[in-house]
Amino acid sequence: MKGSWKHYVPRNNHHSKKVFIWLLLFLSILLFPATVKAVLQKCTICHSKPDFKTIDNSGKVIPLFVDEKMVKKSVHAKKSCTECHADVVEIPHRTPPKKVNCIRCHYTGNPEGAPEGINYDAYKQSVHGMALTAGNPKAPNCQECHGSHDIRSHRDPTSNIYRLNIPKDCGKCHAKIYAEYLESIHGEAVYKDKNLDAPVCNDCHGKEHSIKAPQDLSSRVSVLRISESCSECHAAIGIVGKYGIDVEKTETYRDSFHGVANKFGLVTVANCASCHGIHDIRRQNDPKSSVTLENIPKTCGKCHPGANTNYAKGKIHVNPKSEEAGVVYYIATFFKWLTILTMLALVIHIFLDLNRKSRDWRKKRMEG
């Protein structure tokens, strides 16, 4: 068959056929980067133009420019355009490509070497995933958070999902919350001090692919679980000890009326956020803080109408085991020893009573 590769392979030489096949495979591997570059060059005929854009049905201008330098710095630098835009089968393409389906490569056991362990099922049940399924055009998908042509490793300081960049990334949708966070003690630690120990969005709200609405009682920031989430940092000796933060705060909350009621599922009782704030947590000496002496009556008044300045006079996080608690410590100590001595007296009384009854029983037996 003239013109085909079989024409050049000796028909009765099995060894030569194997050599030829291996040669083809080697050339394919050798030429693969050039193939990727060729595909990219074809796409950039149009997409390398800075003013290349389109207008959707709503009149919104959608830029179609792709910076080739940016692509080469991304984690997908060795991928060709059509490996992600698989529905593009001709150039130029007459119909707009669909959203890239990241699951094509990012799944457990994938041969591409793409990161595994992404819980897509959890994402579908998350507040973002459910909004996307419901057809909310503003709901974030993979590209909204990770980027599109500029996706970089989470270890890269220029990545959208680098730890210190996460608040800004989330702030693209949650602008008001982001503004509050920037002025908080946590935001200050992130952006002013570049402190990698400071909490960012996914530390409180949970793993980024499984974030749930605060109204969902299984959410890490629901009224029943938020004190538990806060204690992951504020009860961890390795963190609070490093920054001189009082570790007793979480312990005293658990032992308080509020903490006990919260543990038993009372959703209306005060938790950490009720007093300290949510995204706008500030230092206690900050005039805007909800727990300054001047603002405590107002803060407590959210649950206790009529709260006055007396609410701010006593210590709030009281540890009855510490002498710093003052009269509470001495009263607690008094009742502790009163209980111990009462129980001891009761045990002695029971022992003496049993001993007397035992003597009376032996005496009657000897007389009988």
- 10-43 burial, b at 16+ Cβ within 10 Å, e below that, comes to eeeeeeeeeebeeeeeeeeeeeeeeebeebbeeb
Burial class (CB in 10 A: 0-12, 13-18, 19+), 270: buried
Residue 327: predicted pLDDT: 81
pLDDT on residue 99: 87
The reported pLDDT for the residue numbered 316 is: 82
Q: How many residues does the chain have?
A: 368
Q: Which residues contact 322 (CB under 8 A, 6 or more apart)?
A: 248, 329
- Which tokens is 14 given? 């099995």
Q: CA 295 to CA 315: how far, in whole Å?
A: 15
Q: Where are the domains of the chain?
A: 1-98, 212-319, 323-368
Residue of 123, 154, 159 whose CA lies nearest to 141:
123
Global confidence as pTM: 0.74
- Give me the tens of pLDDT residue by residue for the chain, a chain 368 residues long: 444 444 444 455 555 656 555 565 555 544 444 444 455 568 888 999 999 998 888 888 989 999 999 999 999 998 989 999 999 988 888 888 888 989 888 888 888 888 887 888 889 899 999 999 999 988 999 999 999 999 999 999 999 999 999 999 999 999 999 999 999 999 999 999 999 999 999 999 998 899 999 999 999 999 999 999 999 898 887 787 788 887 788 888 988 889 999 999 999 999 999 999 999 999 989 999 999 999 999 999 999 998 988 888 877 888 878 777 778 788 889 999 999 999 999 999 999 999 999 988 988 888 76
Give the DSSP letter string of 213-238: -TTSTTSTTSTTTHHHHHHHHHT-HH
- Residue 248 CA, chain-centre distance (Å), reads 25
| Sign of the dihedral through C-alpha 137, 142, 146, 149 | negative
